[in-house]
Amino acid sequence: MANKSNIPVYKLDKFRSGKERSSQYQVEIFDANRHFGVQYPHRHDFYEVLYLNKGTGIHSIDDNQYEISPPCVFFLSPGQAHALSLSTDIEGFIFLFTSEFYLLNQKNKSRLLEFPFFYSTKRNNPPLLLTNGDDDVFFQSLFKRACGIVQNTNEPNDDLMYALLDLLLLSCENLYPQADSVALKTKNNILVKNFLVQIEENYQNNLRINDYASKLNITANHLTQVVKQITGKTSVELLHEKIIVEIKRLLIHTNLSLAEIAEMMHFEDQSYFTKFFKKYAGLSPLQFRRVNIKQ
């Protein structure tokens, strides 16, 4: 096992080459020559849209794995952990941006949560498969135009960049498979997504459902009812699922001891930590690590 102490969280500056003038977004070609010295898996504190038009591989996002089948578009929300295993002929583009940049010109401050591919209430992130050749050509043109703006040696044109990003997200939303696009924008659905955002930001802080409800300015009862209606699970189940996924990730991808992981996740003691994990995972933390770590 690699000598790793934690899953790194990268800021957008990590992915800038130094030529760009904006710290709110970055667009560039994505291929085998793209090297930023990042560790996998890792997280971002920004949003990502990854378009691939050539190559193969596996994209792991949280506890899901997706086969790369170009042309396709992947989406990442802040806090999600991901890892890429790519063929040497991989080609495409990547668009990184902060929520501040996108929401600056939006009256609706929940707009990002209305997109079906960010903070999915189903806790999955399947890629958008571009089955129409015209759509593929259109997406390539958007990314190429955005790359040209970023590489411009003059002052960056943030207004044009925002317009391209908005058009990109709206086009993806229009093509993305979804049961009911209207339902995704309802008050209850946005509430659940805001709950998921709070979980991402606070899962290590040992907060109770009452604490999350308080942050959302609602009662714990109402939160649980809405979460159950939208996801089929209780708010406690979603919180525990997130904690278990994070513990599994730390057990597999770091060399932290069980005591260190328990402390990091704010468990009262290692004994309770072990009981909690075994209840949901079916194995003790040590057994899970031994089964999942390749010697």
Q: Above 50 in pLDDT, residue 295?
A: no
Quote the pLDDT of residue 2: 43
Mean pLDDT, residues 265-278 taken together: 94
C-alpha distances in Å from residue 239, one per residue of 47, 119, 197, 201, 264: 22, 14, 11, 12, 16
Could you give the CA distance from residue 142 to residue 282 in angstroms, rounded to a whole number?
47
Mean pLDDT, residues 142-156 taken together: 84
Quote the pLDDT of residue 39: 85
Quote the pLDDT of residue 35: 65
pLDDT tier, 37 (very low <50, low <70, confident <90, very high otherwise): confident
Quote the pLDDT of residue 294: 62
Residue pair 84/135 in contact (Cβ under 8 Å)? The answer is no
Alpha carbon 212 to chain centroid distance?
20
Quote the pLDDT of residue 283: 95
Please choose, from the candidates 78, 80, 1, 10, the residue with its C-alpha nearest in 3D space to the C-alpha of residue 39: 10
Q: Which of 127-131, 150-154, 198-202 has the lowest mean pLDDT?
A: 150-154
Q: Which CATH architecture has domain 9-175?
A: Sandwich (2.60)
CA angle 178, 58, 129 (to 5 degrees): 30
Please choose, from the candidates 96, 101, 77, the residue with its C-alpha nearest in 3D space to the C-alpha of residue 198: 77
Quote the pLDDT of residue 181: 52
- Pick the more confident residue, 20 or 274: 274
Q: Above 70 in pLDDT, residue 125?
A: yes
Quote the pLDDT of residue 36: 62
pLDDT tier, 21 (very low <50, low <70, confident <90, very high otherwise): low
Could you give the CA distance from residue 12 to residue 250 in angstroms, rounded to a whole number?
23
pLDDT tier, 81 (very low <50, low <70, confident <90, very high otherwise): very high
Return the CATH fold of 186-292.
Arc Repressor Mutant, subunit A (1.10.10)
Mean pLDDT, residues 103-111 taken together: 90
Q: Above 60 in pLDDT, residue 102?
A: yes
DSSP bridge partners of 75: 49
Quote the pLDDT of residue 115: 93
Mean pLDDT, residues 259-288 taken together: 94
Quote the pLDDT of residue 7: 87
pLDDT tens for each residue of 213-243:
999 999 999 999 999 999 999 999 999 999 9
Q: Above 50 in pLDDT, residue 264?
A: yes
Provide the percentage of residues in the chain whose pLDDT is more than 70: 91
**What residue ranges do the domains of the chain occupy?**
9-175, 186-292
Quote the pLDDT of residue 200: 93
Q: Above 90 in pLDDT, residue 178?
A: no
Tell me the pLDDT of the chain averaged across its residues.
90
Q: Above 80 in pLDDT, residue 44?
A: yes
